[in-house]
Chain A
Amino acid sequence: MLPFIARRLALAVATVLAVVTIAFVLGRATGEPGGLLLPDNATQAEVDALNAALGFDRPIVVQYLDTLVGLVTGDFGDSYRLRESALGLVLERVPATVELAFWAFAIGLVLAVAAALAIQLTGSRVLRAVAGWAGAMRQSVPDFFFALLLVLVFSVLLGALPSLGRTSYASLVLPVLTLATGQFVMYLRLLDASLSEQAGQDFVRTAIAQGQRRSTVLFTRMLPNAALPVLGMAGLNLGGLLGGTVVVEVVFAWPGLGKLLTDAVSQRDFPIVQAGLVFVALAFVIVNTAVDVLVRRIDTRTAAA
């Protein structure tokens, strides 16, 4: 197990390095920030002066090395616009995004497990058909449009829930609902397919032939085996949610990481972009490594192979 974790750590370092490098290259490829930070009527001398002040007149290699040093020391520099530590600004936004991602993930997953188990326990074709139909409906609507529909119904028509900002628990409801429904649909499909496959397995028949209750077999035999592929998928997903609730954050003016990053990219605020990307990449790699370790603990066959 230890060499495995060591390998994954090395991979994590390589991933972060690659992310920073790509961000650096793409950032510089779209032009110097001096011109974008200053008003349109600024003189070329003013632009040059700003570029010099921010260090953009140095050779590109030096700038890149400077970025790497910053990465190692955790110092990504100050935001060009806000004159504050970029890392500080990123970390300040993290709780809001984590809150959104966690609730969407947890609610989606728990409800999906419950629904998949209910379909198996009742053996109801109607339930499966309804779930499948509702899932197809939800998936055919983009997140931002679904979010607007929710706002229309719950905020505009019913006036029951706030549609903007992060002020109370009530303001969590609509953004979480938007994301969680998407998650729910995906996990339900995966789990239902996976459980149905397990139902035909020989070891399930063995357990039933021993006189075990079908519900016991479902919980103790089928669910753990069916959960394995879903777990791997969940890892990828949670990692993705931590960095990518952008659309929903923008629609609901949610002060999270996604919104900070999109703003920073359009404003060429490189320190924030870099700090944000490193955080997202790390979160992704860490969550996935944790899931892989978990899967290997549950299924020792993968460790042997």
Chain B
Amino acid sequence: MSAVLRIEDLRIETTGDAPRALVDGVSLHVDRGEALGVVGESGSGKSLTVLAALGLLPVGTRVAGGRIAIDEHVLVDVGAGVWAGERELRALRGRTAAMVFQDPMSSLDPLRAVGAQVASAVRVHAPMSRRAARERAVELLTSVGVRDAAERAGTRPHQWSGGMRQRAMIAMAIAHDPLLLIADEPTTALDVTVQAQVMDLLAEVRERTGSALVLITHDLGLVAENSDRLAVMHHGRVVETGATRAVLDAPAEDYTKRLMAAMPAESERTAPAVRAGEPDALVADRIVVEYRVPGRKAPVRAVDGVSLRIAAGETVAVVGESGCGKSSLAKAVLGVQPAIEGAVVLGGEPVRKELAARTAAERERAQIVFQDPYSALDPRLTVHELVAEPLRIRRAYTRAAVTKLLEDVGLDEGHAKRLPGQLSGGQRQRVGIARALALRPKLLVLDEPVSALDVSIQAQVLELLDGLQREHGLGYLFISHDLGVVRSIADRVVVMQQGRVVEEAPTAQIFRDPQHPFTRQLLDAVPRLDGPRRGRRPLRVS
């Protein structure tokens, strides 16, 4: 059988005087109509490997060895001195092999109508009039499930939802019925329910076009449900490869086992840390949050009368799709976006709704850990200074206090002198947690605290959070779209939809016996290791 993509012994290095290998000795192949999952954590080289196939390596990296062929057409053979020119690559890109990228917002030109962008993808390889291309674009958009495509084609990306944008990206990718679709984390930026729709769509268009698929992801569940074969990458090498089912049922390599073990368990937290007798960390009573939208008279109601109680030592997860009001609720609790109605009680004492009106003592009671540990830390302050800052503001700084806080989150004196840029993602999030704990809050708002981290790091940070909760009796308001993570850490789950709570129950009950249809929909959409294979079996073309 002929391979659509064949990579042999690929080596990718950084350019410059002291080249460092980013990908080393990677061999992969994708047969016609086949779906290959490439799994790995950030820095494993999984994206670089496929970007190299289309000559799209980012500046500062280069292919230093090996051979790449698409549809038996050799593009690179370092040993034989073969290097495809830009013209050759251009003929393949979008026609033989097309890509779907991670973030559909940034991957679309913000200034051009979506329809025009699809049309220009059409015209690249199929010369036709602009009008004909527009019509073809509307057809393509309709075929990927964009309703009223003719009307919506004239609007720009910011007027589209995330899921719709990714559909448009797929429409562009299938414009020329490519032999190979390369999807690089195609659903990472999307809600879990939208993720399910997009993966279904990918399976459906592949049935139509017969395209092979390379699915690059960090999510083993996604690979389990959407690939025939799988390659696990780690530190620039393929550590294990084989039929997806076989590998997941009986992983041979340690790293694969570790990855699978780090997946949030399909079971609940067994030992709650709730402290009876202490005042509740948070009582939020019928909170209403509204936003003014310029150009619209009526304000948008993001949170519509939500009540929430979190005991000392309890973790309550708020889940829902983006735009459901979970972040607005957290902002109202913190007072950053004050509630227009309702009341907030922190650690047993009522506090004012606006952060600006709260006293220092009131502010101390609720702190936040942000989603993105990269942007949440001032890049010019050392770890020590970052954690010391809240203490200095309250004139409570001592060197020993900072050292103790860093110790609590598993960092030592060596880390204290470093800048955030010299830390890994997991270490940065530890700094964020230490900073939030500095003022001894009663309530910690955890806004997607692990979703920017690799699964193995996620598990460590969740373990840390669990330990800190037991030690300090902290209440956690845990905001997440990742139900697997929620299941392993939360005592109770609150499901929000359109600003309201649709279901609230102990974690075990939510996962075993969801009552509300929306909760069921959310749970069904989560990809699982033992989930069913989506779509038809691949087309076999001999």
Residues of B within 8 A of A211 (CB): 90-95, 124-125
A220-B120, A301-B158, A305-B294 known; A213-B108 Cβ under 8 A = no
Q: Which 4 A-B pairs have the closest CB atoms?
A: A211-B94, A210-B94, A211-B93, A202-B106
B56 & A208 in contact (Cβ 8 Å cutoff): yes
Q: A211-B90, A305-B294 are in contact. Are A205 and B101 (CB under 8 A)?
A: yes
Contact indicator A209/B111 (Cβ below 8 Å): no
In Å, the complex CA distance between A208 and B54 comes to: 10
Interface core residue of B93, B106, B109, B121 (most chain A CB under 10 Å): B109
Closest to B293 in A: A304
Tell me if A299 is interfacial: C-beta within 8 Å of chain B. Answer: yes
- Give the residue among A211, A228, A299 with the most B Cβ atoms within 10 A: A211
- Residues of A within 8 Å of B295, CB to CB, are 304
Q: Is the CB of A298 within 8 A of B169?
A: no
- Contact among B92, B93, B172 for A208, CB-based, below 8 A: B93
A225 with B101: CB separation less than 8 A? no
Q: What is the CA–CA distance of A8 and B86 in the complex, to the nearest angstrom?
A: 48
Q: Are B110 and A209 in contact (CB under 8 A)?
A: no
A275 to B99, CA, bound (A): 61
Q: Which of A200, A207, A213, A301 contacts B110, CB < 8 Å?
A: A301
CA gap between A224 and B58 in the complex, in Å: 22
Contact A206 B107 (CB under 8 A): yes
- For B295, give the chain A residue with the smallest CB separation: A304
* Residue of A201, A202, A214, A221 with most chain B CB atoms under a 10 A cut-off: A202
A208 to B172 CA separation, bound complex (whole angstroms): 12
Q: Establish whether residues A205 and B91, one from each chain, have CB atoms under 8 Å apart when the complex forms.
A: no
**Please, could you name 24 A-B residue pairs with CB atoms under 8 Å apart, sorted by A?**
A202-B101, A202-B107, A203-B109, A203-B110, A205-B56, A205-B101, A206-B172, A207-B120, A208-B56, A209-B56, A209-B99, A210-B120, A210-B124, A211-B90, A211-B95, A211-B125, A214-B86, A221-B112, A224-B111, A299-B110, A299-B111, A300-B159, A304-B158, A304-B295
B185 to chain A, nearest CB (A): 12
Residues of A within 8 A of B (CB): 200-203, 205-214, 220-221, 224-225, 228, 298-301, 304-305
Which of B436-458 touch A at CB < 8 Å? none
**Contact partner, A203, options B54, B92, B108, Cβ 8 Å:** B108
Chain B residues within 8 Å of A214, by CB = 86
Q: Does B362 make an interface contact (CB < 8 A)?
A: no
B108: chain A residues at CB < 8 Å are: 203, 206
- CB < 8 Å neighbour of A202 from B54, B103, B125, B156: B103
Q: Which of B91, B101, B110 has the most CB of A within 10 A?
A: B110
CB distance from A4 to the nearest CB of B (A): 10
> Are B86 and A209 interface neighbours, CB within 8 A?
no
Collect the chain A residues with CB atoms within 8 Å of residue B120's CB: 207, 210, 212, 220
Q: With the chains together, A203 CA to B59 CA distance in Å?
A: 16
- A209 and B158 form a contact (CB under 8 A): no
Contact B172 A210 (CB under 8 A): yes
Q: Is the CB of B294 within 8 A of A203?
A: no
- The answer to whether A209 and B98 touch across the interface, beta carbons within 8 angstroms, is yes
Q: Mark B58-77, 1 if CB is under 8 A from A, else 0.
A: 11000000000000000000
**Which A residues are CB-close (under 8 A) to B91?**
211
**Smallest CB–CB gap between A84 and chain B, Å?**
48
- A91–B372 Cα distance when bound, in Å, is 58
From 92 to 149 in chain B, residues with beta carbon under 8 angstroms from any chain A beta carbon are: 92-95, 98-99, 101, 103, 106-112, 120-121, 124-125
- Residue of A with least CB distance to B87: A213
Closest chain-A Cβ to B288's Cβ sits at a distance in Å of 24
| Complex interface: chain B residues within 8 A of A200 (CB) | 58-59
The complex places the Cα of A186 from the Cα of B111 at a distance, in Å, of 25
Docked Cα-Cα span, A272 to B106, in Å, equals: 53
Provide the residues of chain A in CB contact with B56, threshold 8 Å.
Answer: 205, 208-209
Taking CB as reference atom, which chain B residue is nearest A222? B109
Residues of A within 8 A of B86 (CB): 214
Chain A residues lying within 8 Å of B101, measured Cβ to Cβ, are 202, 205-206, 209
> B106, A212: Cβ atoms under 8 Å?
no
Closest-CB distance, A25 to chain B (whole angstroms): 36
Report the Cα distance A200→B60, complex, angstroms: 12
Residues of B within 8 A of A207 (CB): 109, 120
Given A207-B120, A300-B159, 14 new contacts (CB under 8 A) = A200-B58, A200-B59, A202-B101, A202-B103, A203-B107, A206-B101, A206-B107, A209-B101, A211-B91, A212-B90, A225-B110, A300-B156, A301-B156, A301-B158
Contact A209 B109 (CB under 8 A): no
Q: Is A205's CB under 8 angstroms from B107's CB?
A: yes
> Among the interface residues A200, A209, A213, A304, which one has the most CB atoms of the partner chain B within 10 A?
A209
B173 vs chain A, min Cβ distance (A):
8
Question: Cβ of A209: which chain B residues have Cβ within 8 Å of it?
Answer: 54, 56, 93-94, 98-99, 101
A124 to chain B, nearest CB (A): 15
User: What chain B residues lie within 8 Å of A201 (beta carbons)?
Assistant: 106
The answer to whether residues A206 and B158 also contact, given A221-B109, A299-B111 and a CB cut-off of 8 A, is no
Q: How far is A111 from B53 in the complex, measured between Cα atoms in Å?
A: 38
How close is B269's CB to chain A, nearest CB, in angstroms?
38
- In the complex, A225→B106 CA distance in Å? 12
Q: Give min CB distance, B478 to chain A, whole Å.
A: 30
Contact A300 B90 (CB under 8 A): no
> In the complex, A278→B8 CA distance in Å?
72
Nearest-neighbor residue (CB-CB) of A213 within chain B = B90
Q: Considering the chains assembled together, what is the distance between the CA atoms of A298 and B111 in angstroms? A: 7
Q: Which residues of B contact A301 (CB under 8 A)?
A: 110, 156, 158
* Nearest neighbor of A224 in chain B, beta-carbon distance: B111
Residues of B within 8 A of A206 (CB): 99, 101, 107-108, 169, 172
From residue B187, how far is it (CB to closest CB) to chain A in Å? 16
Residues of A within 8 A of B58 (CB): 200
Instruction: Give the shortest distance, in Å, between A254 (CB) and chain B (any CB).
Output: 39
Determine the distance from Cα of A205 to Cα of B106 in the docked complex, in whole angstroms.
Answer: 10
Chain B neighbourhood of A300, CB < 8 A: 156, 158-159
> Across the two chains, which residue of chain A brings its CB closest to B172?
A210
Give A304 to B111 CA distance when docked, in angstroms.
Answer: 13
| Nearest A-chain residue to B58, judged by Cβ | A200
- Chain A residues within 8 Å of B109, by CB: 203, 207, 221, 225
Does the CB pair A225–B169 fall under 8 Å? no
Give the complex CA separation of A214 and B94 in angstroms.
14
CA of A169 to CA of B398 in the docked complex: distance in angstroms? 73
Q: How far is the CB of A6 from chain B (nearest CB, A)?
A: 14
Q: State in angstroms the CA–CA spacing of A202 and B99 once bound together.
A: 12
**B306-340 CB contact bits vs A (8 Å, 1 = yes)?**
00000000000000000000000000000000000
